[in-house]
Amino acid sequence: MDVNVEAKRILAVSISKLYASRTQRGGLRLHRSLLLSLVMRSARDIYHSSRESEAPIAAAPEEPMDTSSRAEEQTQLPEPESEPQPVANGAEAASEVSDSREEESDGETTEDKENVSPTRQSRKRRGKASAAPDFLPSKRARLEPGEERYAAPLGSCRTMAGESLTTLSLNRVIPAF
């Protein structure tokens, strides 16, 4: 447990160092960025392996996890031509695992993605490392205190569309200039 807390903290510190190094005078330092990404990788492995021991793992989510870390290992070997890449890999390391999950959800055509309520956590399939890691700053818009969110009822727009599209278009023509 302790290790997990420390791993999370080290990950957060490392990410902020990587972000900070982008604005550093003199540009990104390759060796330092590579060392940072190494630390992040060990911290991430420990973090995920201790999360794993909490919840039982399904067999399917294991695959995307392995392929993403293998792809990552290959891309971590430095390429002389593209300097930002090792840093980008380090920065994306934490989110790459969850990104791979997004590809799976393309198969879910029955879901109404357009009108999905903002209160849902994410479109990504829940798995070993579901959603964004909780130490990352949230990129979603946050409500100001006092506001309330009005969720459009699922499917309501769709059913309306066929019937009253013409009426809508007549009444709500928005000038295009």
Residue ranges that bind other proteins, judged by CB under 8 A: 6-7, 10, 13, 17, 25-27, 29-32, 34-35, 38-39, 42-43, 46, 73, 76-78, 80, 83
Of 49 and 169, nearer to other proteins (C-beta) is: 49
- Match 């420990």 to its residue by tokens: 46
84 by DSSP, 3-state: which?
helix
Q: Is the dihedral of CA 161, 162, 167, 170 positive or negative?
A: positive
Burial grade of 26 (CB within 10 A; 0-12, 13-18, 19 or more): exposed
Of 43 and 97, nearer to other proteins (C-beta) is: 43
Q: At closest approach, how far in Å is the CB of 34 from other proteins?
A: 6
Q: At closest approach, how far in Å is the CB of 76 from other proteins?
A: 7
6 by DSSP, 3-state: which?
helix
Q: At closest approach, how far in Å is the CB of 10 from other proteins?
A: 6
* 21: its two tokens: 């190094």
Q: At closest approach, how far in Å is the CB of 12 from other proteins?
A: 10
Measured distance CA(103)–CA(110) in Å, rounded = 15
Q: At closest approach, how far in Å is the CB of 102 from other proteins?
A: 27
Of 17 and 51, nearer to other proteins (C-beta) is: 17
Q: Is the dihedral of CA 50, 142, 150, 105 positive or negative?
A: negative
Of 34 and 131, nearer to other proteins (C-beta) is: 34
Of 40 and 132, nearer to other proteins (C-beta) is: 40
